[in-house]
């Protein structure tokens, strides 16, 4: 075991082609995950601290509500952030497949291969975590621009603390190692399971019933909410929200599959290939955009809140403040979700390019234009992205339209902020997918001279 581990750095250098892109991408993904997670947790800490020791200018009665809402944001972002960390770990493993196969042939045991991978992925995670802590510190002045409770947090209030930073340096490498080892297990146990792709079974439409049921419950709940006490109403609202979110995750991969099937029916080669890739692994496509679906939904719901207060006549300064903060928080959560989605899309596409490098190179030799794969790549991300974000935001608005329909005319600022966020976020994701563009060309170019 020790000898194998000692060999690792040497093999590593031999295994890398001329490109260090995958390692860099994995480290970057860990860094982004760490920085954003720490920022979100730092925000939560800020609200908790303000609740525990309310500043003189703050109405203390509202503080607990903010803590609840901050928890909602944390819950919303935890799953996509974890998914991103997992994707980063998988990317590192995909790159090392060939080298690990060689090691297996040389007589290294599966267990040693797993340990080797875990150690390497943990190292990437550690580098990413260090960069992430630095990133978190650098982002503090940015978050300190955002006004909450009438006054922006200071950087000190949002800093996650040295204990938090050290915890991140321990937890991120650990999660990375576990995730890397887990994704490797499939390769070790069944090498054919990855290479031999077969048509996956379709998903059942029953999943849709779940989301319909949750939406009905939400609408009914919203209607009876006014008759309940404030605390009960908030609890009910949050519970129903969680229910809707849960069912969205259930129905997401199914929706991606349906979109893929519709796309595959007609159209040119780029559309066909993108559709087949979505059908091939709808869950993977959902992992990239899933967090966005939930965040779009919540942001859409919150964006109509300002109008709600205007119509209901409750325009005391305190409620005004809370509602404005709800919009800020919703859009901020959506923006972070977009950053996560952009990085996840970049990672997924880089992994895809590496997985398919031989097929791509041979297609290019046979005269297939490289632009085809660019077009496929863009569609593969953009179609589910738009489908998910627009559908979720649309559903969010439609659910609340009976309640706040007219308010949109009175106070359209929240909605405009939402739309702006959707547009900018989509462009950011699109830009992130361009990261695999040079990688595609590099893998194509290296195989031309490698005669095999």
Rg of the chain in Å (alpha carbons): 24
Helix axes 63-105, 161-189, angle to 10 degrees: 40
Q: Return the structure tokens found at 277.
A: 């890739």
- Distances 90 to 84, 335, 446 between C-alpha atoms, Å: 10, 25, 23
**99 lies in the site for another protein, by CB under 8 A:** no
Q: DSSP secondary-structure letter at 406? A: T
Report the helix count and the strand count for the chain, using DSSP H and E: 18, 2
Using the contact rule CB under 8 A, the part of the chain among 153-161, 191-199, 215-223, 428-436 near another protein is: 191-199
Q: CB under 8 Å to 55, separation ≥6 — which residues?
A: 151
Phi, psi at residue 151, to the nearest 5°?
Answer: -155, 130
Q: CB 199 → another protein: shortest distance, Å? A: 6
Determine if 199 is a binding residue for another protein (CB under 8 A): yes
Give the other-Cβ count within 10 Å of 187's Cβ.
Answer: 23
Site for another protein in 318-357 (CB under 8 A): 356
* Binding range to another protein, per CB under 8 A, among 14-22, 237-245, 275-283, 416-424: 275-283
Q: Which of 103, 80, 431, 72 is nearest to 234 (CA)?
A: 72
Among 14, 216, 365, 416, binds another protein (CB under 8 A): 365
Answer for which of 174, 234, 310, 372 binds another protein (CB under 8 A) is: 372
Q: Which pair of structure tokens corresponds to residue 411?
A: 């106070």
CB nearer another protein, residue 194 or residue 424: 194
**Selected range binding another protein among 35-43, 52-60, 211-219, 268-276, rule: CB under 8 A:** 268-276
Q: Is 401 in the site for another protein (CB under 8 A)?
A: no
Q: Does 431 sit near another protein (CB under 8 A)?
A: no
φ and ψ at 161, to 5 degrees?
90, 155
Contact status: 201 vs another protein (CB under 8 A): no
Establish if 227 lies at the interface with another protein (CB under 8 A).
no
Out of 78, 169, 272, 284, point to the residue binding another protein (CB under 8 A). Answer: 272
Q: Tell me if 197 contacts another protein by CB under 8 A.
A: yes
Give CA separation, 372 vs 369, 375, 386, 440, in Å. Answer: 6, 5, 21, 11
Q: Please answer whether residues 280 and 384 qualify as being in contact, where contact means their C-beta atoms are separated by less than 8 angstroms.
A: no
Q: Which stretch binds another protein (CB under 8 A): 46-54, 119-127, 272-280, 320-328?
A: 272-280
Strand partners, 147: 152
CB of 89 to another protein, least distance (A): 23
Binding test (CB under 8 A) with another protein, winner from 104, 207, 261, 276: 276
User: Is 451 a binder of another protein (CB under 8 A)?
Assistant: yes
Name the β-bridge partners of 148: 151
Cβ–Cβ < 8 Å for 415, 315: no
CB 261 within 8 A of CB 313: no
Choose, by CB under 8 A, the member of 267, 394, 420, 438 that binds another protein: 267
Question: Which residues make beta-bridge pairs with 320?
Answer: none
45 makes contact with another protein (CB under 8 A) = no
CB of 264 to another protein, least distance (A): 9
Determine, following the binding rule CB under 8 A, whether residue 283 of this chain makes contact with another protein: no
Report the residue from 154, 156, 358, 438 that binds another protein according to the rule CB under 8 A. Answer: 358
Q: Is 202 in the site for another protein (CB under 8 A)?
A: no
Give the pair of three-digit tokens for residue 36.
Answer: 């954003």
Is position 18 an interface residue for another protein (rule: CB under 8 A)?
A: no
Smaller CB separation from another protein, 365 or 424: 365
Nearer to another protein, 245 or 376 (CB): 376
Q: Are 337 and 76 in contact (CB under 8 A)?
A: yes
Both tokens assigned to 225: 């909410």
Q: How many residues bind another protein (CB under 8 A)?
A: 31
Report yes or no: 343 and 432 within 8 Å, Cβ to Cβ: yes
Does position 142 bind another protein by CB under 8 A? no
Q: Is 442 in the site for another protein (CB under 8 A)?
A: no
The answer to whether 359 contacts another protein (rule: CB under 8 A) is yes
Interface ranges with another protein (CB under 8 A) = 195-199, 266-269, 272-273, 276-277, 279-280, 356, 358-359, 362-369, 372, 448-449, 451-452
């Amino acid at each position: 075991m020790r000898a194998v581990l000692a060999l690792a750095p040497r093999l590593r250098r031999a295994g890398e082609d001329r490109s260090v892109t995958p390692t860099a991408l994995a480290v970057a993904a860990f860094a982004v995950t760490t920085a954003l997670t720490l920022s979100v947790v730092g925000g939560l800490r800020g609200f908790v601290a303000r609740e525990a020791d309310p500043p003189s200018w703050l109405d203390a009665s509202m503080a607990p509500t903010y803590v609840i809402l901050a928890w909602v944001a944390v819950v919303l972002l935890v799953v996509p952030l974890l998914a991103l960390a997992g994707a980063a770990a998988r990317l590192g493993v995909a790159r090392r497949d060939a080298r690990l196969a060689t090691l297996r042939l040389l007589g290294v045991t599966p267990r040693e291969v797993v340990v080797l991978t875990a150690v390497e992925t943990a190292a990437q995670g550690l580098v990413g975590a260090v960069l992430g802590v630095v990133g978190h510190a650098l982002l503090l002045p940015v978050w300190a621009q955002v006004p909450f409770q009438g006054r922006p947090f200071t950087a000190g209030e949002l800093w996650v603390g040295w204990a938090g930073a050290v915890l991140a340096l321990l937890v991120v490498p650990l999660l990375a190692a576990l995730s890397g080892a887990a994704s490797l297990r499939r390769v070790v146990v069944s090498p054919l399971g990855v290479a031999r792709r077969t048509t996956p079974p379709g998903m059942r439409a029953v999943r849709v019933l779940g989301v319909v049921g949750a939406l009905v419950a939400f609408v009914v709940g919203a209607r009876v909410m006014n008759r309940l006490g404030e605390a009960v109403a908030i609890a009910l609202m949050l519970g129903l929200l969680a229910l809707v979110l849960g069912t969205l995750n259930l129905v997401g991969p199914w929706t991606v599959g349906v979109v893929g099937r519709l796309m595959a029916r007609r159209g040119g080669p780029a559309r066909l290939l993108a559709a087949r890739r979505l059908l091939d692994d709808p869950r993977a496509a959902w992992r990239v955009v899933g967090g966005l679906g939930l965040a779009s939904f919540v942001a859409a719901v919150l964006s109509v809140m300002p109008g709600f207060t205007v119509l209901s006549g409750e325009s005391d300064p305190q409620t005004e403040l809370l509602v404005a903060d709800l919009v800020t928080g919703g859009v901020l959560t959506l923006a972070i979700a977009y950053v996560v989605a952009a990085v996840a899309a970049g990672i997924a596409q880089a992994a895809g390019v590496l997985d398919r490098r031989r097929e791509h190179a041979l297609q290019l030799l046979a005269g297939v234009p490289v632009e085809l794969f660019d077009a496929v790549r863009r569609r593969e991300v953009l179609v589910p992205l738009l489908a998910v974000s627009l559908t979720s935001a649309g559903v969010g608005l439609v659910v609340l339209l009976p309640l706040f329909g007219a308010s949109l005319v009175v106070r359209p600022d929240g909605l405009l902020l939402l739309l702006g966020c959707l547009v900018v976020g989509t462009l950011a994701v699109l830009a992130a997918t361009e990261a695999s563009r040079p990688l595609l060309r590099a893998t194509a170019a290296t195989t031309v001279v490698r005669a095999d």
